[in-house]
Amino acid sequence: MPDSDDERFETYLKQFRPLVPDVLPAREIRPEPRRRFVLTICTVGTVVAMVILGVVTLRVLNHRTTGESAQSATVKGVEPAPLTIRRANALLATAPSYKAVMNELAFPVKRSTVPKDKQSALAVLGKEKIKL
Amino acid sequence: MGGANQNTDEIEVLYRQHGAALLLFASTMSGDRGRAQDALHQVFLKLIENESLSRAADKKAYLFACVRNAVLNDSNLQRRNIVLEADSVWFSPQDRDYAAEQNLRRALNSLPDDQREVVVLHVWGELTFSQIGDLLNASSNTIASRYRYALGKLRNSMLPKENSCAGFR
């Protein structure tokens, strides 16, 4: 059986509260490497993203320039001379008939760029008289 | 990751709940509040690191056992006789009665180590005699006996200065 004096003395002793310890350093230590890790990841990510963006932009610009020059070259080669009043008058003056002028304007004859020392197969076949 | 955070949070709660009693226990063992504080931090940081607390059946008793081992290991490394600090304060006394606090500290210092351990663990650590017996490898009867002896000695050494029993009635 516990002595009542002992119990009272125990209660008295419990009135003395032990001092609270310093804050556990876990919270102070842990975020430091994690923050550093996140910062490193962010920096590396930003650099990689910038490099990728730069490469993509360069490729797009390069592609666009090449496309434009090719397209302009194609257009220049195909497009016939514009029909002006002067050109129409000249055609009417030189052409054998009005119908020929209309044909010339509607279906312009493409000048072949065959070198001088070579012959166009189409022209040669056109001259031959084939007997059927 | 979530388990680790949960473990850390639980350990912080336990630190807030039992930190003061654990620090007092370590201080009475090591005799040096700074060394006791270091041992306490070392124990809790290790618990966060290896998550061994989740395997303990009686977490409070396990914490006291860990702190005891840490202080004993430290004392072994230091290879010195432990002398309790006379100046360091262990308690925050009621009504700022620092004379009574010093009186209690002196009375505790005068106890043999095994009796002092039992008093601190039972009164401020709020461990049962059975828990203390498991911790110190002794039967609960032995612990109860040590406690009664220690309490008697404490009362005798404190009473003359507390003006008989009036001080704690």
What ipTM was reported for this prediction? Answer: 0.81
Residue A55 counted as domain residue: yes
Say if the Cβ atoms of A16 and B104 lie within 8 Å: yes
Domain boundaries, chain B: 1-83, 97-164
* Chain B residue with the nearest C-alpha to that of A22: B37
**Is residue A91 exposed (0-12), middle (13-18) or buried (19+ Cβ within 10 Å)?**
middle
Residue A88: the pLDDT is: 83
For chain B, list the strands marked E by DSSP: 91-92
Given a cut of 70, whether residue A124 has pLDDT beyond it is yes
> Cβ of B27: how many Cβ atoms within 10 Å?
29
Residue A49 counted as domain residue: yes
Say if the Cβ atoms of B23 and A19 lie within 8 Å: yes
Enumerate the residues of chain A whose CB falls inside 8 A of the CB of residue B101. 16
Residue A91 counted as domain residue: yes
Residue A123 counted as domain residue: no
Please give the residue that has the higher pLDDT: either B82 or B47.
B47
Q: Please give the average per-residue pLDDT across B116-122, as a whole number.
A: 95
Given a cut of 90, whether residue B75 has pLDDT beyond it is no
Say if the Cβ atoms of A8 and B89 lie within 8 Å: no
Residue A29: the pLDDT is: 47
Full-prediction pTM beyond 0.80?
no
Q: How many domains does chain A have?
A: 2
Please give the residue that has the higher pLDDT: either B149 or A3.
B149
Q: Please give the average per-residue pLDDT across B61-85, as a whole number.
A: 78
Residue A98 counted as domain residue: yes
* Dihedral of the alpha carbons of B108, B110, B111, B117, in degrees to the nearest 10: 40
| Main-chain dihedrals φ then ψ at residue A16, nearest 5 degrees | -85, 115
Q: Please give the average per-residue pLDDT across A27-38, as a whole number.
A: 61
Say if the Cβ atoms of A26 and B12 lie within 8 Å: yes
| Main-chain dihedrals φ then ψ at residue A23, nearest 5 degrees | -60, 140
Please give the residue that has the higher pLDDT: either A17 or A106.
A17
Residue A34 counted as domain residue: yes
Per residue in B55-70, pLDDT tens?
888 999 999 999 999 9
Residue A37 counted as domain residue: yes
* CATH 2.130.10.10 corresponds to the domain B97-164: no
Position B51: which residue type?
Answer: E
**Domain, as residue range, for A90:** 81-110
